[in-house]
Amino acid sequence: MFKNVFDRACSAMLPSAVVLFFSLSMLGCEPTSPTPSARDARRGVQKPEGAPDVQEYTAWRPFFTTDYGVVSGSDMVGTGFAFRLSDESKPVFVTALHLLGTVNGLEKDLLPNELSESIESTFLSDVFGATDGVKQIGMPYQPCDPEDENEAIEADVVAFDLVGRFKPEFLKLSDEIIQPGQRLWMVTAVFAGASPSQKCHAVKVSDVENGRIQYRFENERLSLKATDGAPLLFDSGLVAGMHQGGTADETQGVSGYGITSDALRRAIESMCLDRSSGEFER
């Protein structure tokens, strides 16, 4: 297994630090199963009551090499997902902008107008281990007008072009307005507090204002490691927003925060998605 993953990574020209991490982290992954429910049943994982059906290849771990260091070269730090603004729009992969910063060991926090010239390559691995391969994606998008970069900064969003034959599961943004007291679902695998195969983790919204969401997780033991950038879904399975961080407290439980689908949409609309795309050539 080690050799297969290593060979696949090398053929994709991953940086050596990322190759080593993927080779070690993918040991023990199961082969792709015919349906999510069938695989979960074999693992004894119960879908939380009311949770949406989440397809394979919906949530991904991003890995970046930049001029200022490697993000996730030895430790997974985030999650991301793909969607289209409309049926006619180009698909994009999104995650939290702050992952590309000093909090994850880079020499500086990358700003939206610096992304194309600073990011050397971006790779994804499937959050739930449905595939042990790694996928290279294209260039990061930048604001159409350099003066508009505050839209992406305030939303804490970075978006990437999806190139080649890589076809993740595309989620759909919702127009529904989130209400305090409403239940949403964070979709990603966690490192502690729940089975790593559990796809959906319930939150209860405590506040919504100006495109920002605050909420509390129903599971007070949940680890939020590498969850920043995960999609937040309504019961319907449509995207309510993006999870961007949180804290755990022994007395207060686990709380989180993120942005609404409307704020996410505005951030993507401020970026130039119509320019010609291509894979990294460095």
pTM comes to 0.83
C-alpha distance from residue 264 to each of 19, 94, 97, 259, 270 (Å)? 31, 9, 12, 7, 10
pLDDT tens for residues 94-134? 999 999 999 999 999 999 999 999 999 999 999 998 877 89
Model confidence band, residue 164 (pLDDT cutoffs 50, 70, 90): confident
CA angle 63, 25, 202 (to 5 degrees): 75
Model confidence band, residue 33 (pLDDT cutoffs 50, 70, 90): very low
Are 240 and 260 contacting, i.e. CB atoms less than 8 angstroms apart?
Answer: yes
Q: What's the confidence (pLDDT) of residue 77?
A: 92
Q: Identify the CA nearest to 16 among candidates 87, 90, 74, 102.
A: 74
Q: What's the confidence (pLDDT) of residue 275?
A: 52
3-state secondary structure of 243: strand
How far is it, in rounded angstroms, from Cα 44 to Cα 78?
A: 26
pLDDT tens for residues 39-78? 554 455 668 999 999 999 999 999 999 999 999 866 889 9
Q: What's the confidence (pLDDT) of residue 87?
A: 86
Residue 193 gets the label, from left (phi > 0), alpha (psi -120 to 50) or beta, of left
How far is it, in rounded angstroms, from Cα 59 to Cα 189?
A: 9
Are 112 and 153 contacting, i.e. CB atoms less than 8 angstroms apart?
Answer: yes
Are 223 and 249 contacting, i.e. CB atoms less than 8 angstroms apart?
Answer: no
Instruction: Show Cβ contacts of residue 72 under 8 Å, excluding neighbours closer than 6 positions.
Output: 18, 21, 61, 62, 63, 64, 78, 104
Are 159 and 165 contacting, i.e. CB atoms less than 8 angstroms apart?
Answer: no
Q: Which residue has the higher pLDDT, 279 or 214?
A: 214
Percent of the chain with pLDDT over 70: 80
